[in-house]
Amino acid sequence: MSNPTLLILPGDGIGPEVMTEVRKVIDWMGSSRGISFDVSEALVGGASYDAHGTPLTDETMEQAQSVDAVLLGAVGGPKYDDLDFSVKPERGLLRLRKEMDLYANLRPAQCFDALADFSSLKKDVVAGLDIMIIRELTSGIYFGEPRGIITEGNERIGINTQRYTESEIARVARSAFELARKRGNKVCSMEKANVMESGVLWRRVVTEVHEAEYSDVELSHMYADAGAMQLCRWPKQFDVIVTDNLFGDLLSDAAAMLTGSLGMLPSASLGAPMSNGRPKALYEPVHGSAPDIAGQGKANPIACILSFAMALRYSFDLGEEATRVEQAVEKVLADGLRTADLIGEEGVSPVSTSAMGDAIIAAL
Ligand X SMILES: CC(C)[C@H](C(=O)O)[C@@H](O)C(=O)O
Give the Cα separation of 36 and 28 in Å (integer).
9
Which of 2-10, 89-97, 235-243, 344-352 is the region at the interface with ligand X (rule: CB under 6 A)?
Answer: 89-97
Asked about 12 being catalytic, the answer comes back as no
Is residue 116 a contact point for a second copy (CB under 8 A)? no
Q: How far is the CB of 315 from a second copy (least distance, A)?
A: 26
User: Is position 227 an interface residue for ligand X (rule: CB under 6 A)?
Assistant: no
Measured CA distances, 132 to 139, 181, 317 (Å): 20, 12, 19
Rounded Cα distance, 149 and 87, in Å: 16
Minimum CB distance to a second copy, residue 287 (Å): 10
156 binds a second copy (CB under 8 A): yes
**Does residue 288 bind a second copy (CB under 8 A)?**
yes
Phi, psi for residue 73 in degrees, rounded to 5: -85, -85
Among 138, 175, 189, 198, binds a second copy (CB under 8 A): 198
Please tell me which residue in 68, 249, 280, 314 is annotated as part of the active site.
Answer: 249
Q: Which residue of the set 12, 244, 253, 341 is catalytic?
A: 253
What angle separates helix 353-363 from helix 302-314, to the nearest 10 degrees?
Answer: 40
DSSP-H helix ranges across 34-85: 46-52, 58-66
* Least distance in angstroms from the C-beta of 142 to a second copy: 6
Is 12 within any annotated ligand binding site? no
Q: How far apart are CA 317 and CA 339, in angstroms?
A: 30
To the query of whether residue 236 is one of the catalytic residues in this protein, the response is no
Binding mask 334-353 for ligand X (x = CB under 6 A): --------------------
What whole-number distance in Å separates Cα of residue 141 and Cα of residue 82? Answer: 22
Q: With binding defined as CB under 8 A, does residue 226 bind a second copy? A: yes
87 is annotated as contributing to ligand binding: yes
Q: What angle do CA 40, 45, 46 make, to 5 degrees?
A: 120
Active site residue 142: yes
CA distance 343 to 325: 23
Asked if 225 touches ligand X (CB under 6 A), the answer is: yes
The rounded Cα 208 to chain-centroid distance in angstroms is: 27
Tell me whether residue 97 is annotated as binding. Answer: yes
Q: In what order do the strands lie in the sheet with 38-41?
A: 38-41, 5-11, 69-74, 279-285, 266-273, 104-110, 130-136, 240-243, 186-191, 218-223
- Is residue 68 annotated as part of the catalytic site, yes or no? no
- What angle in degrees, to the nearest 10, is found between the helix axes of 197-213 and 166-181? 50
Nearest to 244 by CA among 136, 133, 106: 136
With CB under 8 A as the contact rule, the residue among 113, 225, 317, 320 that binds a second copy is 225
**How far is residue 68's CA from residue 59's CA, in Å, rounded to a whole number?**
16
AA letter at 325: V
Contact map string, positions 143 to 172, toward ligand X, x by CB under 6 A: ------------------------------
| Residue 160 binds to a second copy (criterion: CB under 8 A) | yes
Residue 84 is labelled as binding a ligand = yes
Footprint of ligand X on this chain (CB under 6 A)?
75-76, 90, 93-94, 194-195, 225, 249
State the binding site for NAD(+).
77-90, 288-300
What residues line the site for a second copy (CB under 8 A)?
76, 85, 88, 90, 94, 120-122, 125, 141-142, 144, 147-149, 152, 155-167, 192, 194-202, 205, 224-226, 228-234, 246-247, 249-251, 253-254, 256-258, 262, 288
Residues marked as catalytic: 142, 192, 225, 249, 253
- Binding-site residues sit at 77-90, 97, 107, 135, 225, 249, 253, 288-300
**Which residues are known binding-site members for Mg(2+)?**
225, 249, 253
